[in-house]
């Protein structure tokens, strides 16, 4: 049916619309089909009908232009029904005009430049951009352009096959948002687990504060409450309140829903920045610090402040673990190195301290488990959640050579074309 109509147009030279004419022109190119001795191949008319049906029914937008690449640009000689449905333009509205009528402010000029270079070089092009429907609505587009050639190899037309991927992009965006939500929810679940511990943990200083306050009051009531006698319970109250405050402060930093401020950083720079903060404690406990930094580590994408917190927690734990060992043995070693798994940078903090029992190691990342008189037992819990949010995992092993522990984590390296030095400027900010 369609083939017959098509043929009429060809014979009369009076197509009902130019789209049909251009299809006919395309098919008029000399056939590259091999001879068909047993007569199974479709005739030229049948082929034409088949192509027409394909063009009618595919979901991809198909647009054919002539080859005038310079302004005002190539002229559209054919668009299929999917194009008309999805852009809102009828064939009559676009035939003879340049595909530029689909472009707008969000159309990526660099893609257009790439397209031009590919076409000038006679190569096919694949890209993504934003185009605009007739009603002005933008849509995301995946698009592929190839040249049609005649028997002599000369380019006669360009065929652009386009797919509207707006819905897919939107889905991907929703998934991304969902993942961010999920990460936050995971942290909230963790907070739920923390909450019961927290109630217990805050109860201790509160009970102590209560007891010291009552003790002080009693002394006043008994008439034994001179300044000296009152000073002692007041100091104890202040110390307990201080402890309660610290617990709350550290938990707050964990659940605060701030946007991660990630940038491209070197773990070495980060280590060097954070160590002065640990210096006082190192000096007080007579601990030597050894650095063994990879001379040219790849950069990582990290929230510096958070990772510095982790390093500081680990160094402090190492220092504290050595308070009971002979001073000459007190060394904390911080190293950065390429991770054995590849594609990651590893940071290790090694001490020569008292080490840990199996039992203590099993409870290592549980909140509020502390062996120290003033310890909150939160350092490692917080550090683990930070490292995990950076795509890593904090682990601990007993040193096999010598006493003490080594804590380590690795972060994904940023691949760059500057070799092992990583990228030099912050890539992702905000």
Ligand X SMILES: Nc1ncnc2c1ncn2[C@@H]1O[C@H](COP(=O)(O)OP(=O)(O)OP(=O)(O)O)[C@@H](O)[C@H]1O
Question: Does residue 351 interact with ligand X by CB under 6 A?
Answer: yes
From residue 384 to residue 423, the character string flagging contacts with ligand X as x (rule: CB under 6 A) and all else as - is ---------------------x------------------
Distance of closest approach, residue 248 Cβ to ligand X, in angstroms: 13
Residue selected from 379, 386, 394, 409 as contacting ligand X according to rule CB under 6 A: 379
From residue 267 to residue 306, the character string flagging contacts with ligand X as x (rule: CB under 6 A) and all else as - is ----------------------------------------
What does 318 bind: ligand X, Mg ion, none (CB cut-off 5 to 8 Å by kind)? Answer: ligand X
Residue from 145, 143, 141, 69 nearest 106 by CA: 141
Question: Does residue 317 interact with ligand X by CB under 6 A?
Answer: yes
Q: Based on CB atoms, which residue is closest to ligand X, 293 or 396?
A: 396
Question: Does residue 318 interact with Mg ion by CB under 5 A?
Answer: no
Q: 412: which strand partners?
A: 344
Q: 288-293 and 331-338: which strand pairing?
A: parallel
Give, in degrees to the nearest 5, the angle at Cα 7 between 2 and 12.
130
Rounded CA-CA distance 180/159 in Å is: 40
Q: Based on CB atoms, which residue is closest to ligand X, 97 or 316?
A: 316
Rounded CA-CA distance 127/162 in Å is: 10
What does 338 bind: Mg ion, ligand X, none (CB cut-off 5 to 8 Å by kind)? Answer: none
Question: Does residue 353 interact with Mg ion by CB under 5 A?
Answer: no
Judged by CB under 6 A, which stretch of 61-69, 103-111, 124-132, 348-356 contacts ligand X? 348-356
What does 356 bind: ligand X, Mg ion, none (CB cut-off 5 to 8 Å by kind)? Answer: ligand X
For the chain, how many residues are written?
430
Work out the burial of residue 83: count CB atoms within 10 Å of its CB; fewer than 13 is exposed, 13-18 middle, 19 or more buried. Answer: buried
Distance of closest approach, residue 393 Cβ to ligand X, in angstroms: 16
Task: Write the CB contacts of 232 (distance below 8 Å, at least 6 apart in sequence).
Answer: none
Judged by CB under 5 A, which stretch of 7-15, 128-136, 228-236, 317-325 contacts Mg ion? 317-325
Judged by CB under 5 A, which stretch of 18-26, 89-97, 107-115, 316-324 contacts Mg ion? 316-324
Q: Structure tokens of 74? A: 């190539």
Q: Using only C-alpha atoms, what is the Rg of the chain? A: 36
Distance of closest approach, residue 381 Cβ to Mg ion, in angstroms: 10
Long-range contacts of 277-283 (CB under 8 A, 24+ apart): 277/308, 277/312, 278/312, 278/315, 278/316, 278/319, 281/316, 281/319, 282/315, 282/319, 282/332
Binding site for Mg ion (CB under 5 A): 317, 379
């Amino acid at each position: 049916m369609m083939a017959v109509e098509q043929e009429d147009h060809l014979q009369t030279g009076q197509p009902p619309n130019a789209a049909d004419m251009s299809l006919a022109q395309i098919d008029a190119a000399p056939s590259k089909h091999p001879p068909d001795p047993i007569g199974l191949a479709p005739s030229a008319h049948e082929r034409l009908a088949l192509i027409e049906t394909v063009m009618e029914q595919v979901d991809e937008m198909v647009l054919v232009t002539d080859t005038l690449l310079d302004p005002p640009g190539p002229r559209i000689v054919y668009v299929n029904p999917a194009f008309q449905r999805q852009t809102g333009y009828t064939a009559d509205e676009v035939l003879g005009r340049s595909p530029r009528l689909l472009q707008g402010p969000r159309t990526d000029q660099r893609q257009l430049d790439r397209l031009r270079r590919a076409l000038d070089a006679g190569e096919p092009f694949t890209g993504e951009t934003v185009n605009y429907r007739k009603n002005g609505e933008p849509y995301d587009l995946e698009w592929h352009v190839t040249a049609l050639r005649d028997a002599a190899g000369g380019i006669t037309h360009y065929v652009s096959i386009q797919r509207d991927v707006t819905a897919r992009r939107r889905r991907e965006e929703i998934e991304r948002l969902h993942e961010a939500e999920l990460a936050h929810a995971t942290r909230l679940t963790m907070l739920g687990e923390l909450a019961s511990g927290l109630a217990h943990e805050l109860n201790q200083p509160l009970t102590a504060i209560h007891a010291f306050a009552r003790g002080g009051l009693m002394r006043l009531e008994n008439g034994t409450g001179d300044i000296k006698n009152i000073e002692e319970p007041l100091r104890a109250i202040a110390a307990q309140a201080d402890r309660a405050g610290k617990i709350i402060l550290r938990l707050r930093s964990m659940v605060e829903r701030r946007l991660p401020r990630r940038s491209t950083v070197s773990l070495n720079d980060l280590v060097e920045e954070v160590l002065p903060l640990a210096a006082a404690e190192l000096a007080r406990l007579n601990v030597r610090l050894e650095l063994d930094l990879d001379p040219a580590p790849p950069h990582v994408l990290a929230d510096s402040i958070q990772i510095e917190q982790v390093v500081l927690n680990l160094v402090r734990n190492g220092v504290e673990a050595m308070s009971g060992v002979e001073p000459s043995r007190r060394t904390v070693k911080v190293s950065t190195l390429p991770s054995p798994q590849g594609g990651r940078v590893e940071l290790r903090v090694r001490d020569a301290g008292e080490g840990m029992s199996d039992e203590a190691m099993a409870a290592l990342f549980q909140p509020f488990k502390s062996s120290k008189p003033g310890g909150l037992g939160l350092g490692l819990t917080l550090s683990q959640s930070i490292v995990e949010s950076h795509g890593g995992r904090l682990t601990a092993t007993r040193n096999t050579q010598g006493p003490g522990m080594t804590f380590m984590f690795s972060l994904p390296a940023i691949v760059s074309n500057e070799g092992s030095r990583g990228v030099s400027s912050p890539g992702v900010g905000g």
